[in-house]
Amino acid sequence: MQIKAKKEFGQNFLKDKGVLEKIIQAMSDRKEIIVEIGPGLGDLTQCLLEKNSVIAFEIDSDLCVFLKEKFAKELDEERLILHQGDVIKQWDSESSLISKPYILVANLPYYVATPIVLRALSDPMCHYIEVMVQKEVAEKFSAKSRSKQYCKLSVIAQIFSKVKVLFDIPPEAFEPSPKVFSSVIVFKKEDTTFDALHFRAFYDYLETAFSSPRKLWVKNLNKNYDKAVLIELLNEANISFQVRPHEIDPITHHHLFTKLTKVNKDVKRDKRRE
């Protein structure tokens, strides 16, 4: 069966065996079931199946036909379960991708890698994420405060997981070759008991806080909160009112968000009493 890579689905197939081995080695001895998004031609799937059972989500119906033939035995034995469709839609219909604890290991399509990582971070069933993404995206997720790449993605990832970039991969490792370098990045979650609403509210706060990254934190948040309250919070935390969002480390952002949530709740309660 002749398979032609489809650009619209971000298909760059990983052909370098050395890279596949390094991805598998980094997983160490995790016991959870493996979820793979975008198995493609199944080279990574084959390696993952040597570690544990795999549940795979693939959008491309032609690839699903190919995979069903290639993995007929594993599908029959239910060591591999293959879902055809857009994984984002699956996440939109349920807050967890599957109903038991899992780890996500995948070579993600560039065009949808960031939304996939964000959904996996907020999915309480997902305990560990090891994915290949565009190098620039990995740099954003792992950036430290005050660096050029530091942004809302750095903060949310580093609050909800321990982030580590493992290694870079050159375009030649793929068929067809993309125009950019890729990186393998790991997000290790220590606490999976948070609720998805908390994640969403914190992300909304970060969108506002970083809406104009070079503007003052107070100015960005002034759209939603009283300026005096914002300045008082900064004073309490011993931070200058001239601070900009990229100068605040992830833990301090989370602290400020928690305080603002409390202020909002108090205002709503006072209004109800009036």
Q: Determine the interface stretch with ligand SAM among 33-41, 91-99, 160-168, 262-270 (rule: CB under 6 A).
A: 33-41
Kindly state the smallest distance separating residue 7's Cβ from ligand SAM, in Å: 10
In the bound state with ligand SAM, the residue whose beta carbon lies nearer, of 107 and 220, is 107
In the bound state with ligand SAM, the residue whose beta carbon lies nearer, of 58 and 139, is 58
Kindly state the smallest distance separating residue 112's Cβ from ligand SAM, in Å: 5
Kindly state the smallest distance separating residue 156's Cβ from ligand SAM, in Å: 21
Among 112, 126, 153, 185, binds ligand SAM (CB under 6 A): 112
Task: Specify burial of residue 131 (Cβ count, 10 A radius: 0-12, 13-18, 19+).
Answer: buried
Interaction between residue 105 and ligand SAM (CB under 6 A): no
Nearest to 120 by CA among 144, 95, 151: 95
Question: Following CA atoms 32, 37, 39, 45 in sequence, which dihedral angle do they give, to the nearest 10 degrees?
Answer: -10
Interaction between residue 184 and ligand SAM (CB under 6 A): no
Among 34, 44, 173, 248, binds ligand SAM (CB under 6 A): 44
Kindly state the smallest distance separating residue 186's Cβ from ligand SAM, in Å: 17
The three-point CA angle 231-259-119 to 5° equals 120
Among 71, 109, 129, 260, binds ligand SAM (CB under 6 A): 109
Among 23, 58, 67, 70, binds ligand SAM (CB under 6 A): 58
Question: Following CA atoms 184, 175, 137, 24 in sequence, which dihedral angle do they give, to the nearest 10 degrees?
Answer: -10
Say if CB 102 and CB 55 are below 8 A apart.
yes
Helices (H), the chain: 17-26, 43-49, 61-70, 72-76, 87-93, 113-122, 135-142, 152-160, 196-209, 217-221, 227-236, 250-273
Give residues in contact with ligand SAM (CB under 6 A): 9-14, 37-41, 43-44, 57-60, 63, 86-88, 107, 109, 112
